[in-house]
Amino acid sequence: MNWKTCILFLWFPTTVLSEEAHSLGPPKYFHVSEELETALILDWNSRYITEGRDNLSGEGIWGSTVEAILGSFEFAGWIGASDGARYEELNLFSAYHFEAAGLNWYASYNHLQFLSDESRDNEIGLGVETPELPGGFVAAIDWYYSVASRGSFLSATLAREFEFGQKGTLTPALICGRNDGYISDGHNGANHVALQLAASYEANERVTLSAYVEQSFAIQSAPGQFAGDASLSDIFYGGVAISIAGW
């Protein structure tokens, strides 16, 4: 899977709201680029699901990302707005990618601004990805720490890409999440597991179309004991995106 295809799959929001949000993450299958590469990504998600939680009570969210890669460095900006709730969020993201012990790593920093209530947060992240495993699977672990909540969240992913013709891909994935104070009013420990199916199609050298559906299953949700678990439930949702490279 090349970067232009994979970034669409991983750019859909995968984390939280208010002072505990984290919407940007580095693309998997990162490649070093000696020349500046850029992309504009426009996406829509039927719900804003992050850390297994429905952050906007069933409302969807639109997003746009501007991304640049030069050498081992990656820079991106993402802004999202709900199409049914009063909510806007801005992320400014940077990451450095490197190889060590036969694995692909990244270290990241993300500045978040929640324009709806004028709150902010800063996050640091660390991630690792395996090379292709037997059977064509790829495993990854992503960890990030929130300064505002003084807690972290860890996500583990196992994915397998299937190619269709010269331009199409279909990628099923299993995703597991663990909260350690990142969602300050939610329970700590494993909080959700999800099954995702993503598809992409390279319309031409610059334009890639993608879509996904996901079923998230809550683990040990206890809204009566933890207020943050009120939005942690079994949820089905999906989204679509278009990426324009070299815009």
Per-position DSSP letters for 131-172, written without gaps between them: -PPGGGEEEEEEEEEETTTTEEEEEEEEEE-EEETTTEEEEE
pLDDT at 16 (0 to 100):
33
Each residue's pLDDT expressed in tens, for the chain with a length of 247 residues: 333 333 333 443 333 333 334 445 444 455 667 789 999 999 999 999 999 999 999 999 999 999 999 999 999 999 999 978 889 999 999 999 999 999 999 999 999 999 888 899 999 999 999 999 999 999 999 999 999 999 999 999 999 999 999 999 999 999 999 999 999 999 999 999 999 999 999 999 999 999 999 999 999 999 999 999 999 999 999 999 999 999 7
Q: Which amino acid is at 200?
A: S
Q: Which amino acid is at 16?
A: V
pLDDT at 117 (0 to 100):
85
Q: CA 44, 22, 35, 32 torsion: positive or negative? A: negative
* Angle (nearest 5°) at CA 17 between 25 and 75: 25
pLDDT at 35 (0 to 100):
86
* Of the candidates 8, 11, 14, the residue with the CA atom closest to the CA atom of residue 175: 14
pLDDT at 30 (0 to 100):
59
pLDDT at 145 (0 to 100):
97
CA distances from 119 to 10, 17, 18, 88, 181 (A): 25, 11, 7, 11, 19
d(CA 83, CA 81): 7
* Of the candidates 239, 178, 236, the residue with the CA atom closest to the CA atom of residue 51: 178
Say how many C-beta atoms besides its own lie within 10 A of residue 224's C-beta: 8
pTM for the structure as a whole:
0.87
- 3-state SS, residue 3: helix
Retrieve residue 89's tokens: 């969020």
